[in-house]
Amino acid sequence: MKIGIIGAGALGGTFAALLARAGHDVEVTARGAGLAAIREHGIRLSGGYGDAHVSVAAAETLSVRPDLVLVCTKAQDAAAAIEANAALVDGVPVVVVQNGLDGVATAERLLPASTCVGLLSIIAANYTEPGVVRVTTPATSYLGRGDGEPDAESVRLARILSDAVPVVAIAGFRGAQWTKLVVNMVNAVPAIVGRSVQAVIDDRRLRRVVAASMRETVRVGIARGVRFGSLQGLGDRRLRLFARLPLALGQVLPWLMRVRMGSVPNLGSTQQSVRRGQPTEIDFLNGAVVREAAAVGRDAPVSRALTALVHEVEAAGAPLPDERVLAAVPV
């Protein structure tokens, strides 16, 4: 099958390498140093899915109409990237591999003739060198759309992608997006202080901040009428219980996530963007929590403070001391 991958960063590079290894004809889009590296050396993958070194077609936009498209850009780049490829791919099935809550809706708006589904990936991968990806935590990915049971097209696309990496079509995808948003609350603090996710969660004071951002996200979701989807052992019942816990007990949630990550340092996607000098997608993570809270007349002070701190790090190009986080975030 001809598969086009828009955005060949950490997750895009992972899927490109694994799909090419499984025998699919893969073309990726990239820019700058990443594009030059992939053209010259291919994509080199290591870590949780084994080693792979694949040669794939690469350009700034797709050159051949594919049978399937994966959109793997950062959330803030999705609209422009989809628009740049729309003439070629509108009408082709599209899988949006993205954090945040808006990716599928953006693709549906810009590609009205395409069937658009979302994919929630819990794979942790480091992309700190152009064309080189290391998977630090392999995991099943979850595909779907809407609120109901998975439709036939979602099941078909999950089966295709499972040639390369485990993908399951799930019910209640919108609720699962919210569960993934809770999981993504591990991103901000490591990006601010410049340490791995594991190191942050190992620090009792910083772990409390992470737990507070997760609890706030769950409480906002409840206020928005969300029924959280099942993802990595988390679901509606457990998250609603977590929302009622004091922070001293609620810290068990980030701690359990840290245990699942293993010992290989996981930088988190937000910190990787900072290290590459690129804008982060914090406005689509913690920033989304702030917007969703405002929609029901609530505040989200933890996410609001963390969003501002990440933007401060982006502007400065350097991490902040722990004390700055502890002073700025109300927990």
Q: Any residues with CB less than 8 A from the CB of 227 and at least 6 apart, and which?
A: 172, 175, 236
Supply 71's token pair.
Answer: 């959109």
Q: How far from 228 is each of 89, 120, 231, 274, CA to CA, in Å?
A: 32, 14, 9, 30
Confidence of residue 259 (pLDDT cuts 50, 70, 90): confident
pLDDT of residue 122: 87
Q: What is the pLDDT of residue 161?
A: 97
The pLDDT assigned to 290 comes to 98
Average pLDDT value over all residues in the chain: 95
CA distance 260 to 231: 13
Q: Which amino acid is at 102?
A: D
Structure confidence at residue 233 as a pLDDT band (50, 70, 90): confident
176-328 placed in CATH 1.10.1040.10: yes
Q: How confident is the model over 251-279, as a mean pLDDT?
A: 88
How high is the pLDDT of residue 292?
98
Percent of residues, the chain, with pLDDT higher than 90? 87
Q: What is the dihedral angle through the alpha carbons of 205, 209, 214, 216, rounded to the nearest 10 degrees?
A: 130
Using CA atoms, how far apart are residues 98 and 184, in angstroms rounded to an integer?
11
**How many CA atoms lie less than 13 Å away from 258 in the CB half-sphere?**
19
Arithmetic mean of pLDDT, 196-216: 96
Q: Are 2 and 20 in contact (CB under 8 A)?
A: no
Q: Which of 15-19, 115-119, 124-128, 140-144 has the lowest mean pLDDT?
A: 124-128
Averaged over 76-99, what is the pLDDT?
A: 96
Across residues 90-114, what is the average pLDDT?
96
Is the pLDDT confidence value at 231 over 90?
A: no
15-to-35, 89, 297 alpha-carbon distances in Å: 16, 19, 40
Residue 127: what pLDDT? 87
Question: Residue 96: pLDDT band by 50, 70, 90 thresholds?
Answer: very high
Structure tokens, 107: 């693709």
pTM over 0.85: yes
Distance CA 49, CA 137 (A): 9
Top-confidence residue, 70 or 129: 70
Superfamily of structural domain 2-171:
NAD(P)-binding Rossmann-like Domain (3.40.50.720)
Q: Where are the beta strands (DSSP E) in the chain?
A: 2-6, 25-29, 43-47, 52-54, 57-59, 68-71, 94-97, 116-121, 124-129, 132-137, 141-144, 167-169
What's the CA gap between 39 and 57, in Å, rounded?
7
Between 277 and 228, where is the model more confident?
228
Q: Is the pLDDT of residue 232 over 80?
A: no
What average pLDDT does range 11-17 have in this prediction? 96
pLDDT band, residue 266 (cuts 50/70/90): confident
Asked if 168 contacts 139 with a C-beta cutoff of 8 angstroms, the reply is: no
What pLDDT is attached to residue 17? 97
* DSSP label of 131: T
Helix axes 301-316, 204-223, angle to 10 degrees: 120
Is 262 a residue whose pLDDT tops 80?
A: no
Q: Average pLDDT of 108-128?
A: 93
Q: What is the pLDDT of residue 171?
A: 93
pLDDT tens digits, 145-183: 989 999 999 999 999 999 899 999 999 999 999 999 999
pLDDT in tens, 295-327: 999 999 999 999 999 999 999 999 999 999 999
Tokens linked to 287: 């920033």
Of 258 and 72, the structure prediction assigns the larger pLDDT to 72
> Greatest CA span in the chain, whole angstroms?
54
pLDDT higher than threshold 80 for residue 128: no
Look at residue 328 in the predicted model and tell me its pLDDT. Answer: 97
Q: Rounded to whole angstroms, how far apart are CA atoms 135 and 105?
A: 28
Q: For the chain, how far is it from start to end, CA to CA, in angstroms?
A: 50
DSSP label at residue 295: T
Token pair listed for 258: 């840290």
Residue 240 φ/ψ, nearest 5 degrees: -65, -35
pLDDT at 286: 98
What is the Rg, in whole angstroms, of the alpha carbon atoms belonging to the chain?
Answer: 19
- Domain regions of the chain by residue span: 2-171, 176-328
Pairing of strands 132-137, 94-97: unpaired
Q: What is the pLDDT of residue 263?
A: 79
